[in-house]
Amino acid sequence: MATVTMDSTTRQALERLIAVALRDTGQSRRCADFLLAWHNAGENGGLDLTTLWGMDEELASACGVVFLWIASHRAYPEDLGYGDDLQRIWALWRSGE
């Protein structure tokens, strides 16, 4: 498989979403839902797009940036070195469900 790269704007957006998802707020839950749907929608539940309604504009915009990148790159977070972060997010938001 070819090396997958991410431009700095998209990487910053992704890392912002990850940082928020690793906290414990309503915004965190929404960021986690977005990231976990990318990680494995079947296992983690699909993303209800109305989730974006509850996000502040900065985080919703970050989701948009990452979403556009995902649409054109066919890569998972693990392919970019974020597998451990997604496992931590899963443990926070899905392991007890």
pLDDT tens string, the chain, 97 residues long: the values are 557 889 999 999 999 999 999 999 989 999 999 999 998 888 877 788 898 898 999 999 999 999 999 999 999 999 999 999 999 999 999 887 6
Determine the Cα angle at 5 with ends 63 and 54, to 5°. 5
Q: What are phi and psi of 46, to 5 degrees?
A: -70, 170
Q: Are 52 and 61 in contact (CB under 8 A)?
A: no
Q: Considering the entire predicted model, what is its pTM?
A: 0.91
Domain locations in the chain as residue ranges: 8-93
